[in-house]
Amino acid sequence: MNFILITSIILIMITTVIMMLASILSKKSIVDREKSSPFECGFDPFNKSRIPFSLRFFLIAVIFLIFDVEIAILLPMIESLPSSSIMSWSITSILFIVILLVGLYHEWNQGALEWSS
């Protein structure tokens, strides 16, 4: 027991030192406007090189991932039907689907599923 405690303390200390060293060494000391801007044949750029990211797209992608993972959780429930009682399986699956539908209704009601506003 004592060996595990000492080993874990040593590992935490080593990890902390490595993280602090990485943080100190990774900082750039001088930020140069010319080096951070894109290169356009020696001239100043005519417009911004970065296109602004759509926050709507990001929110819809996150909602899609959440529902996709929930569907992946729902699919193995069919395989567990023969090994469980029909009453507990039905209650569990109906409750899970109701929670999914309530979440979908909430997202729809908040307007998060509309692509353009």
pLDDT (tens digit per residue) in 21-40: 988 887 766 666 666 666 65
Q: Is residue 93 assigned to a domain?
A: yes
Give the pLDDT mean for 91-101.
90
How far apart, in Å, are the Cα atoms of 8 and each of 13, 19, 78? 9, 16, 42
Instruction: Provide the pLDDT for residue 18.
Output: 94
**Greater pLDDT, 29 or 18:** 18
Assess if residue 69 is contained within a domain: yes
Predicted local distance difference test score (pLDDT) of residue 117: 59
Domain that holds residue 54: 2-110
Spatial distance between the Cα atoms of 64 and 54, rounded to a whole number of angstroms: 16
CATH of residue 103's domain is: 1.20.58
Residue 102 pLDDT level (bands cut at 50, 70, 90) = very high
- pLDDT greater than 90 at residue 14: yes
pLDDT value of position 48: 66
Is 32 a member of any domain? yes
- Does pTM top 0.85 for this prediction? no
CB crowding 49-82: b at 16 or more within 10 Å, else e: eeeeeeeeeeebeeeeeeeeeeeeeeeeeeeeee
Whether residue 10 is contained in a domain is answered as: yes
Q: Are 57 and 73 in contact (CB under 8 A)?
A: no
Number of domains in the chain: 1
In this structure, is residue 117 part of a structural domain? no
| Within a domain: 115 | no
Is 61 part of any domain? yes
